[in-house]
Amino acid sequence: MTRAGPAGNRQRRGVEARGRGPTGGGACEGFGIKMSGKRKKKINISINPEMRQPEMNDTEVRQDNPERLSCHMLCESLLSYGSGFNNFQGIFNWSVVLLVLTHVHMSLENFIRYGLLFDPVKIISVFLKDPYKWPAVYLITAAVLFALPAVFIERYLRKVRGSESIGLVLQSVNLFFLITFPAVMVYRMQAITPAGGLLTMFVYIIIALKLFSYYQVNRWYREGTPRPVRGTSRVQATDPSAHQSRRNERGQSKQIMYPMNLKVKDLYYFLLAPTLCYQLNFPRQKNCRQGYIIRRFIEMVFLFHLMLGLIQQWIVPNIHKSMKPINEIESTLLTEYILKLAVPNHFIWLIFFYWYFHSCLNCLAELLRFGDRQFYLDWWNADSVLQFWSRWNIPAHKWLDRHVYRPLLHHGYDKWQARMTVFLLSACFYEYLIAIPLKMFRFWMFFAMAAQVPLACLMKRLFGGNFGNIFMWISLVLGPPLMMLLYFHDYYIQHHRKDSSWRLFFF
């Protein structure tokens, strides 16, 4: 046999040493390595406790720990209610992308079918189509003058004690005139357009609500304030809100006390302020932010033209397609009309909400340095229709709660009766704003608003939480298109169809 030599012997001895393993003799004894041959050395290996040890592989799991071998545990599916998972940001992004693609598809389909219908010149001509030089502008200007007697009535009641009955009559006459005068003028005047009539009725009802609050708050101060001593110019009211350390309209540290608020300047500031509830001292900001005003103004102009363009492009063609009495339309075709109006109408409604409650009211508040900017709450998270109405219009909600709901509770009415009264009053306001400009009394909006209280209570018992929120969104998406189809469809038939066989419930 051929001798391998020293190198071959050392190689074979190395292989044998590795083959004997950690417990074999001569490989690693006492964490040492023995090397045989002419030059024998013993190398001691010390383990540093700070040195990172090699991790154990999956194939080297010890058999005495069986729990580490299991790969299953007790848990719920991710989309189950009990899993506790709440991160749906990806699904939200997917919904937004799908919504955008759906609207793009609808816009392209509408453009291919009807072409470009948006015409700003036509819109301006509709608003300027008044043979008597804009009667709506004159009526709105007169509303500012009709509010002026409120200051003199309050001054008279302050000076003459025991004249509450006379003052109540004067205040009632003033409020009744503010409500009935524009209604008669808009209903009888043929020259005024529905848009101008709606704007006129809206301004007058806002001023009437403001003056009612103005009369009520001054009466509270008048009844709670002692007779002033001769020689004193200011009398401190008993209302605890008068002791708060806010700055008044003039930027002074002292507050306005009753009756120093009975001035024309204070009244007209309240009439311009974006609120319906009167108080002697409003929260004010120190200065106006010009950049903020410019941004809000650009939003107002852009969104206003966007709403008008969507009405011309989407709403008007669908209305013209249904120029037929509703009692002659098949139920399936009527459902198709409602669903076609649902998406564009709801989209326009969302734009209107942002345009009015965010852009317009914030711009007005910034110009007046009005500090309370809570014009709306998170109505999109409401779990019922009642909660939606208490969140989406905070100025109106505060007025109804302060001057209707709480006084009814104070006089012994229960919550159900007070809540029903609030909704009936709101239904009257909505019917007043729609029926007078269109010159039609159908009471569909009134019945729809009045039916929401029992319907909301029933849905709250049957459903709640997310299901209540879903029902709220369904009512918002499908309710306004139905009202639009009932009112404006009938308006077009009444004014553009002479031989209509349409028979209405009341007239």
Please provide the DSSP assignment of 73-107 as one string. Answer: -----TTSGGG-----HHHHHHHHHHHHHHHHHHH
The two tokens of residue 55 are 């991790």
Q: What angle do CA 275, 399, 205 make, to 5 degrees?
A: 70
Residues 6+ apart with CB under 8 A from 77: 83
pLDDT confidence of residue 458: 78
Mean pLDDT of the chain: 74
Count Cβ atoms within 10 A of the Cβ of residue 492 and give its class: 0-12 exposed, 13-18 middle, 19 or more buried: middle
Alpha-carbon span 183 to 360, nearest angstrom: 25
pTM above 0.75, yes or no: no
Q: Which two tokens stand for residue 118?
A: 């948006």
Backbone phi, then psi, for 284, in 5-degree steps?
-125, 150
Q: Answer yes or no: are the C-beta atoms of 485 and 338 closer than 8 Å.
A: yes
pLDDT score of 11 more than 60: no
Out of 85-99, 171-185, 285-299, 362-376, least confident range: 85-99
Across 10-24, 71-85, 283-297, least confident range: 10-24
Phi, psi of 308 (to 5 degrees): -65, -40
State residue 128's pLDDT score: 62
Q: Which residue has the higher pLDDT, 337 or 493?
A: 337
The span from the CA of 21 to the CA of 42, in Å, is 18
Instruction: Enumerate residues 6+ apart whose C-beta is below 8 A from 328.
Output: 501
Assess whether pLDDT exceeds 90 at residue 227: no
Confidence (pLDDT) at 145: 87
Q: Is the pLDDT of residue 380 over 80?
A: yes
Q: Pick the residue with more confidence: 441 or 26?
A: 441
Q: Nearest to residue 258, comparing CAs of 275, 277, 281, 274?
A: 281
Which of 16-30, 109-123, 172-186, 265-279 is the least confident region?
16-30
At residue 298, does pLDDT exceed 90? yes
Do residues 429 and 205 lie in contact, with contact meaning Cβ atoms separated by under 8 Å?
yes
Instruction: Check whether 363 has a pLDDT greater than 90.
Output: yes
Q: Give the residue from 227, 228, 229, 261 showing the smallest Cα distance to 242.
A: 261
Low-confidence winner among 200-204, 328-332, 339-343 (lowest mean pLDDT): 328-332
The answer to whether the CB of 376 falls within 8 A of the CB of 394 is yes
Q: What local confidence, expressed as pLDDT, does residue 414 receive? A: 87
Predicted pLDDT at 205: 92
CB atoms within 10 A of CB 154: 24
The segment with the largest mean pLDDT, out of 9-18, 60-69, 431-440, is 431-440
Strand 42-44 versus strand 32-34 pairing type: antiparallel
- Distance (Å, whole) CA 20 – CA 34: 13
Q: Which of 150-164, 292-306, 333-347 has the lowest mean pLDDT?
A: 333-347
- Distance, in Å, from the CA atom of 394 to the CA atom of 390, rounded to the nearest integer, reads 7
Categorize the per-residue pLDDT at 327 as very low, low, confident or very high, splitting at 50, 70 and 90.
Answer: low
Res 452: pLDDT: 79
- The band of 315, judged by pLDDT with boundaries at 50, 70 and 90, is confident
3-state secondary structure of 33: strand
**pLDDT classification of 449: cutoffs 50, 70, 90:** confident
Q: Could you count the other beta carbons within 10 Å of the beta carbon of residue 123?
A: 17
| Residue 47: pLDDT band with limits 50, 70, 90 | very low
Q: How far is CA 271 from CA 41, 98, 204, 330, 366, in A?
A: 103, 44, 11, 49, 15
